[in-house]
């Protein structure tokens, strides 16, 4: 199921109408942020750029959250979980490819840890108790998943999920899957930096901008006002 729109922001009338419909349907709204404990286990300090790949529904909002997170060098929207040959938006949207809309996060481990990235992911970026959906978006391509690059990442992710479930910080069990990263494929250029480029788009206004506000509120020490955009990262590399 697809509920998003592309291109420039809709007219004022359509924008207002879309927001009225969204607010009248709470089940279609933004996921609520939850204050959660930090992971008891984390990766040791390391040098050089590190990578984390996560999936939590529409990649626009997840990318936006981590573009406003200090220590993140680049956050790219894309696809993970399927083959390279099917890593295209229109095909992934069928829900038959094995792909999930994902975000590849390149980060500086001296400024942010893998565990902190997972804490933000579970707390404000999405609702990890929703199975094969997030908010208005339904299908396996919107599932909650962590794609691990090595055994150490898998150990941290598994332990953190177990910790959060044991503490019952969510009203329902976490359904996030943890599996090895077979490949990450960047999404089409029009998906990159989408939240920043289309701040008045109804989907962004209702579903994703609240995530940025929650990041600013709950993780004030990790929040940066100016987003680290893909376009900027490419220009500086």
Ordered structural domains, the chain, with CATH: 12-236 (3.30.1060.10)
**Residue 54 to residue 75: CA distance in whole angstroms:** 11
Are 220 and 69 in contact, with CB atoms under 8 Å apart? no
Q: Print pLDDT tens along the chain (237 aa).
A: 444 544 433 333 333 334 433 333 334 456 788 999 999 999 998 889 999 999 999 999 999 999 999 999 999 999 999 999 999 999 999 999 999 999 999 999 999 999 999 999 999 999 999 999 999 999 999 999 999 999 999 999 999 999 999 999 999 999 999 999 999 999 999 999 999 999 999 999 999 999 999 999 999 999 999 999 999 886 665
The answer to whether residues 49 and 73 touch, using CB atoms and an 8 Å cutoff, is yes
- The catalytic residue among 54, 58, 156, 215 is 58
> What pLDDT sits at residue 32?
83
Render the burial of 34-54: b for 16+ CB within 10 Å, e for the rest.
bebeebeebbeeeeeebbbbb
Please confirm, yes or no, whether 12 is among the known catalytic residues.
Answer: no
Taking the whole predicted model, whether its pTM rises above 0.85 is answered as yes
């Amino acid at each position: 199921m697809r509920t998003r729109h592309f291109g420039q922001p809709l007219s004022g009338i359509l924008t207002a109408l879309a927001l009225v419909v969204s607010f009248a349907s709470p089940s279609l709204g933004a996921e609520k942020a939850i204050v959660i404990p930090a992971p008891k286990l984390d990766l040791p300090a390391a040098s050089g750029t590190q990578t984390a790949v996560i999936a939590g529904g529409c990649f626009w909002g997840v990318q936006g959250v981590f573009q406003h997170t200090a220590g993140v060098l680049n956050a790219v929207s894309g696809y993970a979980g399927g083959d390279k040959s099917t890593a295209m938006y229109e095909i992934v949207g069928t829900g038959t490819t094995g792909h999930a809309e994902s975000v590849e996060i390149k980060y500086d481990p001296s400024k942010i840890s893998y565990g902190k990235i997972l804490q933000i992911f579970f707390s404000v970026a999405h609702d990890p108790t929703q199975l094969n959906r997030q908010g208005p978006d339904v299908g396996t391509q919107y599932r909650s998943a962590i794609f691990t690059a090595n055994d150490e990442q898998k150990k941290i992710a598994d332990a953190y999920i177990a910790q959060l479930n044991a503490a019952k910080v969510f009203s329902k069990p976490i359904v996030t899957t943890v599996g090895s990263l077979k490949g990450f494929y960047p999404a089409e250029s029009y998906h990159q930096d989408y939240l920043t480029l289309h701040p008045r788009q109804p989907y962004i206004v209702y579903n994703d901008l609240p995530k940025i506000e929650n990041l600013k509120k709950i993780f004030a020490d990790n929040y940066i006002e100016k987003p680290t955009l893909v376009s900027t990262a490419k220009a500086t590399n």
